[in-house]
Amino acid sequence: MRTKLLLLSLLFHLSTQAQTVTGSWYGNADVMLSGRHNNYLAEMIIKQKGNEVVGILGYYFKNGYQSVYIHGNFDKASRTITIDNIPITYFRAKDIDGVNCYMDFTGVLVVSRVKSNINGYFSSDPKYKYTCPELRVTFDLDIDENNKQDSLIKNTVAKKFWQPLPQDVIVDNEKPVKKETPAVAKTEPIIVVRDTPVVAKAEPVITKDTPAVAKTEPAVTKDTAAAVAVIEKEESLKSAKQAVVKTQAPVIAPPVAIAMAPQQPSEKDLLVKAFEKRKNIYSKEIVVASDSVRVSFYDNGEIDGDSISVFLNNQPILMKQELAATALNIYIVLDKTKDVNELSMFAENLGKYPPNTALMVLYDGNQRQEVYLSSSLSQNATIRIRRKIN
């Protein structure tokens, strides 16, 4: 009887588990074409709601990482999951930023006592089957993601090959160390005065053979004295005039007042003012283990033209970007001078279907955390990011 109950309990557990594909899945997607080709290290984080599945599909290819928001269907009877229109980088592209092939995914859930898998493939339109060949993949379920179960992507690739794409944004709050200008002692200018060399007056050598010469004083008459006085007076007047010319201050015209047009506020200044007028609504506090994070924004509903700006610590780091299924990635180095960094989503518009909503995924290299954000024309959606203290 006990054995029967155990079997029934096991079957019930397996049948219950078989009805859901919720979880984190990891695997390799290989190109089904002859020859050697780069594969795609893929991850799929999905949630099942009835027959609908939503989540994120990401992959590493060559030198970078790309991810997209996905939604599809799950048929419980056949255990088949289908997701349409997924952009996958062309397998012969030079890098992750190459042209995309739009492909559909079909997979079958297989559950055993040992492990759970989704065996599937990505396929394109038949007329592009040689340009965008089929990709085969087996996804393994990460049974306990919180315990950091070994994963090729999480423990190897993610830490070594993280590279932002050209359209991504990098925000570095590290303040550069200001180089101090070495102090230079102030020295007074050295004035060199060249003295007139003193020349010793040589006295004539008088010998017994030298004839004696009588010293005669120049005769001064009244006429001579009068002439000398006139010359000295003229020289004195001339010196006085030169002194006046040298000391007279130059005449400087007063400055002309120029009418300056008032400086117009920049687009950034206007955005900051609009941000400050709205109320910050705090959604969640996230604790991270790293001093840098990757933040990805997706339009989690129907793509309806939602546009956002992103603020870090009340300063814009991304302005007027439209949300789409493909990730809008921001790589942030957190400000170490702050205990808590605040990240805010500012709604530029409300799209076709208000309010402005987005799925934000924050990844610190070890742990992925999801937050659904909603902002309006009167409120900003804000989260707090706190670094874990070891």
Using one digit for the tens of pLDDT, what is the confidence trace for 123-173?
998 888 878 999 999 999 987 654 343 444 444 333 333 445 555 676 766
pLDDT of residue 199: 43
Is-contact 105 83, C-beta < 8 A? Answer: yes
Q: Residue type for 104, please?
A: D
- Which pair of structure tokens corresponds to residue 179? 């180089």
Give how far Cα 205 sits from Cα of 178, 199, 208, 209, Å: 76, 17, 10, 11
Closest CA to 128 of 29, 27, 28, 33: 33
Closest CA to 137 of 212, 44, 208: 44
pLDDT of residue 252: 61
Give how far Cα 105 sits from Cα of 70, 136, 329, Å: 11, 10, 24
The dihedral through the CA atoms of 271, 275, 278, 282 has a sign that is positive
Q: Is the peptide bond before 255 cis (omega within 30 degrees of 0)?
A: no
Q: Residue type for 197, please?
A: P
pLDDT 10s digits, 308-363? 999 999 999 999 999 887 888 898 999 999 999 999 999 999 888 888 889 899 98
Query: What DSSP state is assigned to residue 19?
Result: T
What are the backbone dihedrals phi and psi of residue 154, each rounded to the nearest 5 degrees, phi first? -70, -40
pLDDT of residue 270: 94
What are the residues facing 45 on neighbouring strands?
24, 56
Other beta carbons less than 10 A from residue 54's beta carbon: 16
pLDDT of residue 368: 86
CB environment 15-39: b (16+ within 10 A), e (fewer): eeeeebbebbbbbbbbbeeeeeeeb
Q: Residue type for 97, please?
A: D
pLDDT of residue 142: 86
Distance CA 60, CA 43 (A): 9
Give the DSSP H/E element, type plus range, for residue 110.
Answer: strand 100-111
pLDDT of residue 253: 60
pLDDT of residue 213: 47
Which residues contact residue 349 at a Cβ distance below 8 angstroms, ignoring those fewer than 6 apart? 305, 306, 307, 356
Q: What is the pLDDT along the chain (390 residues), one digit of tens a residue?
A: 555 545 555 544 445 455 789 999 999 999 998 888 888 999 999 999 999 999 999 999 987 888 888 999 999 999 999 999 999 999 988 888 788 899 999 999 999 888 899 999 999 988 888 789 999 999 999 876 543 434 444 443 333 334 455 556 767 665 544 444 444 444 444 333 334 444 444 444 444 454 554 444 445 455 555 655 655 666 666 665 565 545 555 556 666 666 666 788 899 999 999 999 999 999 999 999 888 999 999 887 677 788 999 999 999 999 999 988 788 889 899 999 999 999 999 999 988 888 888 989 998 888 888 899 999 999 999 999 999 876
* Structural domains of the chain sorted by starting position, each given as residue range(s) with its CATH number in brackets: 17-163 (2.40.128.120), 170-175+267-387 (no CATH)
